[in-house]
């Protein structure tokens, strides 16, 4: 069975600085998706970025980028130029790639505080 581990319950970053959130996962599959979701105080989970395991290039979305290390089963999220609006819970998630298998496995989350 797949597992997702986020070992940092809480992180802090100064506004405008860079922070990296860690995620490791365990799977025997070779093809899958990985996601980072953000949950602000409004509670709605928002997709931040996704990565297909078969792609070697790390995904980037504006100030958000990932460091995907497939062999190490690591999927960290880097937030550059942190803003106050980035403060939220961040969840790492795994999903098998084959169609029809649409269960997501989530980590326990990392609470990110942004200090002014």
Partner 1 sequence: ETGVTQTPRHLVMGMTNKKSLKCEQHLGHNAMYWYKQSAKKPLELMFVYNFKEQTENNSVPSRFSPECPNSSHLFLHLHTLQPEDSALYLCASSQAFGEANYGYTFGSGTRLTVV
Q: Which residues bind partner 1 (CB under 8 A)?
A: 4, 9, 33, 35, 37, 42-47, 50, 91, 93, 95, 99-100, 102-109
Token pair of 48 as six digits: 């931040």
**Residue closer to partner 1, measured from CB, 71 or 100:** 100
Q: Cβ atoms within 10 A of the Cβ of 111, count?
A: 14
What distance in Å separates the CA atoms of residue 36 and residue 76, rounded to the nearest whole number? 9
Report, in Å, the least distance between residue 37 CB and partner 1.
Answer: 8
**Residue closer to partner 1, measured from CB, 16 or 55:** 55
Identify whether the C-beta of residue 46 lies closer than 8 Å to the C-beta of residue 114. Answer: no
Report, in Å, the least distance between residue 54 CB and partner 1.
Answer: 12
What distance in Å separates the CA atoms of residue 92 and residue 38, rounded to the nearest whole number? 9
**Residue closer to partner 1, measured from CB, 103 or 116:** 103
Rg of the chain taking only CA atoms, in angstroms? 14
**Residue closer to partner 1, measured from CB, 18 or 108:** 108
Report, in Å, the least distance between residue 35 CB and partner 1.
Answer: 5
Strand partners, 25: 4
Report, in Å, the least distance between residue 15 CB and partner 1.
Answer: 26
């Amino acid at each position: 069975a797949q597992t997702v581990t986020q070992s940092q319950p809480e992180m802090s970053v100064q506004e405008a600085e860079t922070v990296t959130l860690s995620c490791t996962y365990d799977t025997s599959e070779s093809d899958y998706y990985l996601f980072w979701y953000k949950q602000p105080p409004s509670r709605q989970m928002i997709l931040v970025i996704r990565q297909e395991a078969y792609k070697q290039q790390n995904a980037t979305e504006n100030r958000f980028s990932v460091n995907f290390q497939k062999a190490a089963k690591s999927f960290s999220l880097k937030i550059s130029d942190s803003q106050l609006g980035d403060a939220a819970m961040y969840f790492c998630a795994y999903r098998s790639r084959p169609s029809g298998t649409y269960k997501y496995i989530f980590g326990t989350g990392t609470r990110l505080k942004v200090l002014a």
